[in-house]
Amino acid sequence: MKIPEVSIPMLNGEFREQSPAPKDAYSYQCEKNKKFYVKSLEGGKEMWLILPNREFGLKQVETLKNTYNNESTTLEINDPETYIKEGDVLTYQKCRLQKLK
């Protein structure tokens, strides 16, 4: 009986490292080596904010095109000074949009 040849990509060197970025998300790199992801929803009227330990939605502030918030968090997209503010505390500062590989 002949054993069929098996090709497993990880064993023959044919593998690619997958990006940790969620599909269709933008990556931001901030001061203090902090990082987060943002996904645009509803034609840019909402953003899904993906932090290392949680994720949640934010709605666009009607009078401010690049500002999104909920009851406790504000995201202002203004590259290279994008920031996240939780309450009165800037938790992510000087964030720059990163090109995803």
Render pLDDT for 26-74 as a digit per residue (tens, 0 to 9).
Answer: 999 999 999 999 999 999 999 999 999 999 999 999 999 999 999 999 9
Indicate whether 48 belongs to any domain.
yes
Indicate whether 62 belongs to any domain.
yes
Q: What pTM value is reported for the model?
A: 0.77
Cis? peptide before 9, omega within 30° of 0: no
Question: Which residues in 1-101 belong to E strands, given as ranges?
Answer: 26-29, 35-41, 46-50, 55-60, 67-69, 73-76, 82-86, 89-98
| First-residue to last-residue Cα distance in the chain | 45
CATH value at residue 79:
2.40.128
Indicate whether 87 belongs to any domain.
yes
Indicate whether 39 belongs to any domain.
yes
Parallel, antiparallel or unpaired: strands 73-76 and 46-50 = unpaired
Render pLDDT for 1-18 as a digit per residue (tens, 0 to 9).
Answer: 677 776 665 555 555 555
Number of compact structural domains in the chain: 1
Print the domain residue range for 89. 26-98
